[in-house]
Amino acid sequence: MKKEIIAALFVLCCMPLTLWADVDASTSLTKYYLRADGQSGNDLRLALQDVIKGHKTIPYKQLGTLMQWSDTENANGKDVIDIYTDCTFTVSGPITWKSSGEVGAGMNREHTVPQSWFNEQSPMVSDAFHIYPTDCKANNNRSSYLYGEFEGPGTSYSSKKCNETGKLGNSDWTAGTTSYTYNGQTYVATTTYSKRVYEPDDEYKGDLARGYFYMATRYAGQCENWSGGAFGSASNGLGAYTAELMLKWHRLDPVSEKELIRNESIYGNTRYNKSTLKQGNRNPFIDYPELVEYIWGDKKGMRVTISYLDSPYANESPLPQDIDLIEEEPVVCRKVLMNGHLYIETSDGLFTITGQRVQ
């Protein structure tokens, strides 16, 4: 037992600090989502819409003020995170925007759901949950193309400063979701899209997917009529191709510390957001990633019990019952996020979310 404890502590202590998140939600999530409890499928999506609708609209021109905190490293207010490039952008105040130039020359506001799809209408046009600061050249390269996966040649840009990490297909491509394995089950694509697509870097695919699930929920009843081809009534607010693609990206790229902090900043948690701007709503699929499965995935049709769901936030998740703890010693438990995966740290060691000791 002592050797196991020492081994677990060694693993714990040797992990780079940047991989750990000890972020607690600034509100009780089980209470926040109470009206969605017991719902299933599309009724669950509509119940979640009731929770997150009516947020405070931030003026489009002021997004740079919010994103100084929501989209910088650990909300430090200076080192901007770009989801499309490896460029380094540093700010000393609100993020400012530039519309053209080579890669690394300036940033723009990237609507991951292009604003032309909803005719630039408010509040979608400034809803921070689907808008990110990105390099302006990469932003222009993505344009209004759908996201996708493809093989073959693609266009990306580079300069002496940095490189675009996403790529745009050079021609029409029958894009579909390549097969993958998740939780021991293999999934094969059932839909395709036969036009040019933009494929972002793997690191942020899950972030983008959870933004799309948010948009399909927050704007339920509207998004079904948007142009562009990604949204519709085929799959609870999404088109069948996009729903399948985003489900894959969500599963294979779990919620990160970056997303937790961004979620809190947009909500208005002053621990991270040092500005006076906030939306006052949350992304349910960052708070409880498993909700995606109840609306678009393998648990569609099953009723959800919110209090049973696991959350990346340290103070929100129920502890598994099968952990063998040292009874004669006081136990301190907390959830931690490491490499995008949840673990439980106790005074007896480090365990996976299912109760297996980390060796």
pLDDT digits (tens, 9 = 90+) for 90-130: 999 999 999 878 999 999 999 999 999 999 999 999 999 99
Work out the percent of the chain whose per-residue pLDDT is above 70. 84
* 31 within a domain of the structure (yes/no): no
- β pairing state of 197-199 and 146-147: parallel
* 92 within a domain of the structure (yes/no): yes
In this prediction the pTM is 0.85
**Same domain flag for 148 and 135:** yes
State the residue range of the domain holding 319.
1-22+314-359
Q: Would you say 200 and 83 are in contact if contact means Cβ atoms under 8 Å apart?
A: yes
The neighbour count for residue 100, using CB atoms within 10 Å, is: 11
* 29 within a domain of the structure (yes/no): no
**Same domain flag for 327 and 240:** no
Q: Would you say 301 and 40 are in contact if contact means Cβ atoms under 8 Å apart?
A: yes
**Same domain flag for 167 and 85:** yes
Task: Flag the least confident range among 182-196, 315-329, 340-354.
Answer: 315-329
Average pLDDT of the chain is 87
**Same domain flag for 356 and 279:** no
State how many domains the chain has: 2
Q: What does the pLDDT read at residue 344?
A: 75
Residue 176 pLDDT greater than 80, yes or no: no
Q: Report how far Cα 185 is from the mean position of its chain's Cα atoms.
A: 23
**Same domain flag for 123 and 248:** yes
* 264 within a domain of the structure (yes/no): yes
* 308 within a domain of the structure (yes/no): yes
**Same domain flag for 234 and 119:** yes
**Same domain flag for 156 and 80:** yes
**Same domain flag for 226 and 342:** no
**Same domain flag for 307 and 325:** no
Contacts of 324 (CB under 8 A, 6+ apart): 348, 355
